[in-house]
Amino acid sequence: MNVPIQDLTRHNQPIAGALAEACREVIESGWYVLGRQVASFEAEFARFLQIEHCVTVANGTDALELAMRAVGVERGDEVILAANAGMYSTVAALAIGATPIYAEIDEQRLSLSFTAIERAFSSSTKAVVLTHLYGCSGYVEEIAQLCRSAEIPLIEDCAESHGARVAGKAVGGWGDVGCFSFYPTKNLGALGDGGACTTHRSDIAAQLRHLRQYGWEARYRAVTAGGRNSRLDEIQAAILRRKLPHLNEWNARRRAIALRYNEAFSKLPIKCPWIDGDAYVGHLYVARVPNRDAFREALKSRGVATDVHFPLPDYRQPAIASQLGKRWELSLTEEACATVVTLPCFPEMEDKEIEYVISAVRDAVTQTRTRAR
């Protein structure tokens, strides 16, 4: 048996008719950018999350950059973030000319540590970016309170956590701004790129609407510096509208698969992801294993696909290391990047595939243990 990390054909096929109809509606409307579909999706996604405002943009990385600009981050300011989350927040900060300040992660959830953020605060800190990594919500209640007390804006990176809720409240609504990606592999994915920012603050929403379209307050009248062309197109918005009603169901299936894995792997030398009800939506099932390369090779030989999200801390990326101004050494971040491995977990997985992955992982652990001796 061959089991992929995910299968977007299987994911989209059951609603292919609805997606085709969505595209047809847009084509026949004659309006393709910032029209009725975008406005409707923004309202529906905001209502789904129970957050006052949703402002769509071209992609998740733009969402992060424009969110930073909207809360006042400027060139030379410091932004606290994690270094194990794929470099997206780092890229956004560097695009502004801000300085990334990397704080240590929590060993259990692999997202920013409350105490590490507090230690990283300085007079130059202008924002904190909390990434809810792999669909596992970070310590957002505590971190939101910390940032409020310090009067420092909190940006939530929710690109991997659509629909996750902590204490009944959606991620993306705890901080000043929430940032979402609708890349096709996300829990709520378009058929191309897309992104959004969410906020309870009308002033930030207004800034974001300016920033996503050249800084315009009105057509051809730019009043906000840092603007760009970053718009979600009508077809992607129409597709996301058709998919949104299925999101809770898809998330529940991802969570159920992850729980089965956790139970099956509980006695193996594997660190499994932290799962706590609706606070976990299983975007990726990421475990931590010793001898990762050998483990992945053993699974590959059995037809089970794996991946590594993410193998390098941001501060070790060759393209940007020279821009960072100091040398970073974060032991938990380094350990996570050296041991994380992603196993198949997507809503359309069949039970026989789940059981096959479980069996293959057990065999791979045995094989790599034997080799290690």
Q: Is 303 left (phi over 0), alpha (psi -120 to 50) or beta?
A: left
The whole-angstrom distance between residue 211's C-alpha and the CA centroid of its chain comes to 22
Tell me the two tokens of residue 350: 């069949």
CB-based contact 271:278 (threshold 8 Å): no
CB-based contact 98:90 (threshold 8 Å): no
Q: Strands 285-288 and 340-343: what pairing?
A: antiparallel
Summarised one tens digit per residue, pLDDT across range 353-372 is 999 999 999 999 999 876 65
**Tens digit of pLDDT per residue, the chain (373 long)?**
999 999 999 999 999 999 999 999 999 999 999 999 999 999 999 999 999 999 999 999 999 999 999 999 999 999 999 999 999 999 999 999 999 999 999 999 999 999 999 999 999 999 999 999 999 999 999 999 999 999 999 999 999 999 999 999 999 999 999 999 999 999 999 999 999 999 999 999 999 999 999 999 999 999 999 999 999 999 999 999 999 999 999 999 999 999 999 999 999 999 999 999 999 999 999 999 999 999 999 999 999 999 999 999 999 999 998 888 778 989 999 999 999 999 999 999 999 999 999 999 999 999 987 665 5
The whole-angstrom distance between residue 334's C-alpha and the CA centroid of its chain comes to 20
Q: CB-based contacts of 12: which residues, under 8 Å, 6+ apart?
A: 19, 191
Element (H, E) at 180: strand 177-181
CB-based contact 289:339 (threshold 8 Å): yes
Q: How far apart (Å, rounded) are the C-alpha atoms in residues 127 and 151?
A: 9
Summarised one tens digit per residue, pLDDT across range 301-321 is 999 999 999 999 999 999 998
Q: Virtual CA dihedral for 147, 152, 153, 158, nearest 10 degrees?
A: -40
Q: How far apart (Å, rounded) are the C-alpha atoms in residues 70 and 130?
A: 16
Sheet strands (E) in 23-123: 53-57, 78-81, 99-102
